[in-house]
Amino acid sequence: MTATACARAVAAALVELGVRHVVLSPGSRSAPLAFAWEALARQSKVELHVRIDERGAAYLALGLAKATRTVVPVVTTSGTAVGNLLPAVMEASHAGVPIMILSCDRPVSALHTGANQVTDQGGLFDRFVRASAQLSGAEGSVATWVHQVGRLVAGAVGVRSADPGPVHLNLAFAEPLTPDDEHWPEVRPTVVEPHRAPPSADDPAPVLEWGVPAAPWSNLPEGYAADAAPEPRTVVLVGDCPPETGRLAWQTAVDAGLPLLSEPSGNARRTPAIRGYRLLLGTELGERIERVLLFGHPTLSRPVSRLLARDDVEIIAVTDGARWIDPGCRVTRVVDRIDPPPGDPAWLRAWRDADDRLLPALDAESGRAAPSEPTPLNGLAVAGAVWHAATRTRQSQESGRGHNLVIGSSHPVRDLDLAPVLGTAPPAYANRGLAGIDGTIATAAGIALATGPTTLLLGDLTFLHDAGSLLIGPLERRPDLRVVVVNDDGGSIFHILEQGAADHAAAFERIFGTPTGARLGPLAAGYGWAHRELTTLTDLRAALAEPIRGTELVEMRITREDRRGQAARLARAGEAAVRA
């Protein structure tokens, strides 16, 4: 047995199991896998993406896996290289994204000896992975290696568990680490069929593993309707989720005539969704909600969190996976499909009327109320322009590789949450599993490489946090990616939180505002990205109307001084819209 034989067996098995993208961070101990993947890439069996920074490489794999819904391995050498993958593994775990860590290691005999780059990395991710395994090139056989690969792939996609997520394969390689004359092995991975619970004689509807009926509303248990209010006032709430889940949520709301409340990355934020739902939830109208049909992972706003924690609201989580979101611990049922009865037209009309009355305030804050006058730049205005541009581009695409939108955490995603609702919407992605700012550029690059032209909207701190991911070597395929940075020189999100109150003004700027004074233009140029700094909304709209070709940074400088005042004005507008 040799390291080369093991690496080739692992790589060949992964290709047989459908892997088409692989991300590699170069290193010495990972050389057997590097050579194997490079050989397969030359045969056009996979596309190999090489990145020198492991942290960015893992997020690139995350983006590729998000967009393709397939397993994407990321290869690293031993030591601290493996530790750099942890943030992406955590995000993938909470978001259910099937990345595979292929960490390479020294032989077990080198553990606890102080040998170079040796640490106990086998169980490093065990709290966050769905499955893990350790293999050695010095022992085992092709059959045993392939078995473990097949088991991990099944765990990553959740084919039996309905619980997709990251997995970890740690490979111990001894010298020699370069290829020899061995032939590529023939591999026959186990074909793992999806779990299908057999229908029962009493209830022919499919069921989830834990026994919750995946049935239409009419198949809910006897007495269920009697326990609920005669015509419960129901809303469809959509958090971060894949496009196909968003489409299901949208159709559910439309078919039943229910108010549709969707976050930007819920992929359901198009007509007839309620644009200002976030501002209405804290009003008397929001207090009247009696039932929530919950799709995806809603974590964006405190009004949503308060709704999901209310003890007078029935919450039904709709998911085809083994996990469901329940931040308020109030979910009463979990189903994988739902066909609710028609809602009360008066209930839907109340939401639409209130939303219509909100439009003047929203348009005024985003600079759309008087288009003939100079428009002040602010986050809402930039977000609205980006949303419009991505939607228009999506409408004009004739192929399936249309325009995508990736959204950074903190204020940009909240600004998009108030953008105009249009007749259609682009596929939208965000790292909302843990809602961190880590790896956002790399994630967007992975989505763009997998699916086509993509716009990324993010703030300056999120951009600087992942600036290293701008580095794409000249031998690598560059994505068609436009990065729009809303640069307010610091952390504007804290202005609208408790920390932004006047009582904390003396300490705020240094420990929360955190201005950097960074110059993004020279930084972008150093990494080979086109850059333009725009000063008007008109210029931004013109730039966004241009096709996305290659990598480009569009910088919009705004102020964050009025963020708290703007939030207060919008909250008052929500109250007024309901009282009118």
**What is the arithmetic mean of pLDDT over 533-557?**
95
Nearest to 244 by CA among 115, 336, 310, 369: 336
> Phi first, then psi: what are they for 551, rounded to 5°?
-110, 130
Per-residue pLDDT band for 398 (boundaries 50, 70, 90) equals very low
3-state secondary structure 396-424: HCCCCCCCEEEECCCHHHHHHCCCCCCCC
- pLDDT of 376 over the 60 cut: yes
Q: Quick one: pLDDT at residue 548?
A: 95
In the chain, % of residues over pLDDT 90? 80
Q: Tell me: the pLDDT tens digits for 253-277?
A: 999 999 999 999 999 999 999 999 9
Residues 362-390, mean pLDDT to the nearest whole number: 80
Mean pLDDT confidence for 70-85: 96
User: Across residues 453-471, what is the average pLDDT?
Assistant: 97
CA angle, corner 245, sides to 417 and 347, nearest 5?
Answer: 60
Q: What is the mean pLDDT of residues 436-444?
A: 97
Tokens 């040799």 belong to residue: 2
Before 176, cis peptide (omega within 30)?
A: yes
Is a pLDDT exceeding 60 seen at residue 375?
no
- What gap in Å lies between CA 492 and CA 503, rounded to an integer? 17
What's the mean per-residue pLDDT of the chain?
A: 90
Q: Note every long-range contact of 530-537, with CB atoms under 8 Å and residues 24 or more positions apart, other chains counting.
A: 531/555, 533/557, 535/377, 536/374, 536/375, 536/377, 537/367, 537/375, 537/377, 537/381, 537/382, 537/385
What is the pLDDT at residue 213? 36
Q: So what's the pLDDT on residue 394?
A: 60
Strands (E), 297-394: 314-318, 331-335
Whether the ω angle into residue 107 lies within 30 degrees of 0, i.e. cis, is no
> Could you check whether 224-354 and 379-561 share the same CATH topology?
yes
pLDDT at 203: 47
Across residues 203-211, what is the average pLDDT? 35
Q: What is the mean pLDDT of residues 499-512?
A: 92
CATH match of 379-561 with 3.40.50.970:
yes
pLDDT the model gives residue 217? 38
* Residue-level pLDDT at 197: 61
- Check residue 402 and give its pLDDT: 53
Of 61, 59, 58, the closest CA to residue 47 belongs to 61
224-354 belongs to CATH 3.40.50.1220: yes
Checking if the pLDDT of 39 tops 50, the result is yes
Q: What distances in angstroms separate CA 474 from CA 39, 250, 332, 471, 528, one per listed residue?
A: 19, 42, 53, 9, 10
pTM of the predicted model over 0.85: yes
User: Which strands, in side-by-side order, build the sheet including 314-318?
Assistant: 260-262, 234-238, 291-295, 314-318, 331-335
Would you state the pLDDT for residue 476? 98
pLDDT at 256: 97
Query: Is pLDDT above 90 for 361?
Result: yes
- Cα angle at 191 between 186 and 196, to 5 degrees? 175
Most confidently modeled of 54-58, 108-112, 179-183? 54-58
Can you give the pLDDT at residue 159?
94
* DSSP, residue by residue, 517-573: ---HHHHHHHTT-EEEEE-SHHHHHHHHTS---SEEEEEEE---TTHHHHHHHHHHH
Closest CA to 261 of 343, 355, 381: 355
Residue 110 is predicted with a pLDDT of 74
The domain ranges of the chain are: 3-172, 224-354, 379-561
Q: Span 442-452, mean pLDDT? A: 97
The sheet that has 404-407: what strands, in order across it?
Answer: 428-430, 404-407, 454-459, 481-487, 551-557, 530-534
Give me the half-sphere count of Cα atoms (radius 13 Å) on the Cβ side of residue 84. Answer: 20
Burial of 288: CB neighbours in 10 Å, binned 0-12, 13-18, 19+: exposed
pLDDT tens column, 277-301:
999 999 999 999 999 999 999 989 9
- pLDDT for the residue numbered 23: 98
Which uninterrupted H or E stretch holds 212? none
Contacts of 68 (CB under 8 A, 6+ apart): 20, 21, 450, 451
Task: For residue 36, give the nearest of 78, 85, 2 by alpha carbon.
Answer: 2
In CATH, the number for domain 3-172 is 3.40.50.970
Through-space distance between the first and last CA atoms of the chain, rounded to whole angstroms: 78
Q: What per-residue confidence (pLDDT) applies to 150?
A: 96
The residue with greater pLDDT, 397 or 165, is: 165
* Cα–Cα distance measured from residue 119 to residue 78, given in angstroms and rounded to the nearest whole number: 8
